[in-house]
Amino acid sequence: MADDTVYIGNFDGRVYALDAGDGTKQWEFQTDGDVSSSPVVADGIIYVATWNDDHIHALNVSDGTERWRFQIDAAWSAAAVVNGTVYVGSRDSHIYALSER
């Protein structure tokens, strides 16, 4: 949750932004796989990993448009963002460190 918006990933392959006050949908983003991690919000960007399309996606919090995506093996956990670097662990036993931008 950030700025009165709740971000939810679902196994239907979508990421949803919902108003925290009344639950109305603000936007949704369709991935090509099951969303396998909790969305993480940092510096106006949402990071979410998918399972069977093997990507981490970076979305704009304002409208859900995709800023970038990076192919990894299926993610095992939510990303962590520290000092402009996005860290995510994957099924291939690697931890990826990606630029936030």
**Interval 38-87: pLDDT, tens:** 899 999 999 998 888 888 999 999 999 999 999 988 777 788 999 999 99
Residue 68 φ/ψ, nearest 5 degrees: -165, 165
pTM of the model: 0.89
Domain boundaries 5-99, CATH class: mainly beta
pLDDT grade, residue 23 (50/70/90)? very high
Q: Are 67 and 99 in contact (CB under 8 A)?
A: no
Read off the pLDDT of residues 82-93 as tens digits, 9 standing for 90 and up: 999 999 888 888
- pLDDT at 94 exceeding the cut of 70: yes
pLDDT in the model for residue 93? 87
Q: In this structure, what DSSP letter does residue 76 have?
A: S
Q: Where are the alpha helices (DSSP H) in 1-101?
A: none
Q: What are the domain boundaries of the chain?
A: 5-99
Strands 80-82 and 40-42, bridge-based pairing: unpaired
